[in-house]
A and B are shown apart, each in its own frame.
Chain A
Amino acid sequence: MMDFGSYHDLLDLYASYAATVDSADWENWPEFFLDDGTYRLQPRENHDRGLPLCLLALESKAMIRDRVYGVKETMYHDPYYQRHIVGTPRVLSVRLEGRREIFEAEANYLVVRTKRDGVTEVFNAGYYRDVIVRTGEGLKFKSRLCVYDTEMIPNSLIYPI
């Protein structure tokens, strides 16, 4: 059971993350992760069949920073806005590791994409499955796994989900 204060912190983490990736504030995206934190974006078919391949498998905060550089500087792409609609998180477990508080939680998400000349379209739907650690600087992701139903990517996916 999680107390209300912790649940509030969790809601704030999810809301802040969505606000960051929706406002093209790419530089701040890695700051949601521990140094050894991981970000994985995986099609549901691979996840459900136990196949390890991800669309993106960023294995550290440093690698997440490399992705930021790619998004900002190296990947030619059609620019677009994205907007995340994140469902209410469901807490799966709360535990202590030493004195560190660790939560496991998940939440559904929907990302819509709007290109400069286009109408808004559903871009990616799935769920987050997270391991979250309380640190001196607030809650951070030990791991964020995004499992997406939208296995057929509409051409390419550039920005973080």
Chain B
Amino acid sequence: MENTSEVFPSDPTWSEEGSSRVPFWAYTREDLYKRELERLFYKGHWCYVGLEVEVPEPGDFKRTVVGERSVIMTRSTDGEIHVVENVCKHRGMRFCREKHGKAKELLCPYHQWSYALNGDLQGVPFRRGVKREGKVNGGMPADFNPADHGLTKLKVARRNGVVFASFDHDVEPFEEFLGPTILSYFDRVFDGRKLVLLGYRRQRIPGNWKLMQENIKDPYHPGLLHTWFSTFGLWRADNQSELKMDAHKRHAAMISTRGQGGKVEEVVTGLDSFKETMTVNDKRLLDIVHEDWWGKPTAVMTTIFPSVIIQQQVNSVSTRHIQPNGHGSFDFVWTHFGFADDTPEMHQRRLIQANLFGPAGFVSADDGEVIEWSQEGFEQNPSQKTLVEMGGRDTEDSPHMVTETLIRGMYAYWRRVMGE
């Protein structure tokens, strides 16, 4: 029997079968969150770290995170890309403080231990002691072996200019991790073309990190919450759409082809967000030009569990990196890019369409807001449950978007891995 009077159950269990009722405590418990870091971010999964174009030259580095662990992506002199944990093996300092830069080595300033760009320990001051008056003072013990004290190295996967890493060296190959279906949507954007970095946008969203995965596994909301999507038909229930998952149902692609928009009674009647007479004053905001590599769909939003979303919404492409910090907050880092063969017009078009996205975007600003409000609702009474039953209770792929199947699929996977 559910005890509805108990707001903060002490040892809650997920009582129902299936994954269509998600307990609020799945978003509020710090112990569960730590287990998520262990099992989802640090073991058995590949996490996004960046684009190769962010470290184009030998010596370039970028500081980022895997889960909550600070890591550094470097390019060494042989052109290889390495990802190492940003924690000195001597006294545990997070020594790299710049977000990016160029360096010959990685140096911890405290006692000047230095590491090669691949993380190997190469310099320990006074390792053999200091000579004074014919006597050697101090020094490391004779059995100190620098080879044993390199920075923690992550396993690295590079595919067509994108870099993923894992603390788990037994993780399956990246291509198997994605599975053939999701890999094909990954390759649709990243087919080996040279990328051009356009820049970053960062926001701290006071909500559980899973809510952002869910937001991009939820095709039910965009045509309702987002006026620009409903009014201009960019993403709407009457669009031709498909929803696909990997075999584990952890990753997903939402595939949609833009409709004509306008007033189709069935999908816009009664919607506060639909603005029948709305037009844009500056048409460049919606100057959409079809690119050959899209194929038929005009938008594909791909969630790679647990750490990243790949956005292609018309001419705007980005990665969106989920960086959790506690059960109730995550940083969301957008890296917008283009392609080396973009015309100057396409370059400009991508920058203008970027106004729809990001922390101030005509479309995306709302997503951060609703995630904050969801978390507030969860925190005030974690004994309740969400109702994820649009389109049924199953977790199958779908030929339309009037369903929450992808969220259910993610929670079916989450329950298996988390043991809840």
Contacts and interface: CB of A to CB of B under 8 A. Distances in A.
B372 A157 contact: no
A22 interface: no
Contact of A51 (B200, B281, B352): B200
Interface stretch (A69-77, A101-109, A136-144): A69-77
Interface in B347-405: 351-352, 354-355, 358-360, 362, 365-366, 368-370, 372-373
Judged by DSSP, the binding face of B is mixed
Interface in A62-92: 62-63, 65-67, 69-70, 73-78
Interface residues on A, range: 35 or more
A154 B100 CA distance: 22
Contacts of A57: 351-352, 354-355
B130 interface: no
B203 A152 contact: yes
Contacts of A155: 203-206, 359, 368-369, 372
A52 B365 contact: no
Contact of A153 (B100, B198, B282, B360): B360
Contacts of A45: 99, 199-200
Judged by DSSP, the binding face of A is mixed
Contacts of A63: 281-282, 284-285, 355
A62 B369 CA distance: 26
A58 interface: yes
Nearest to B272: A76
A156 B204 contact: no
Interface in A9-51: 41, 43, 45-46, 49, 51
Contacts of A51: 197-200
Given A151-B202, A156-B368, 10 more contacts: A52-B199, A52-B351, A53-B336, A54-B354, A55-B358, A57-B355, A66-B280, A153-B359, A154-B204, A157-B365
Interface of B: 99-100, 197-206, 225, 227-228, 273, 275, 278, 280-282, 284-285, 331, 336, 351-352, 354-355, 358-360, 362, 365-366, 368-370, 372-373
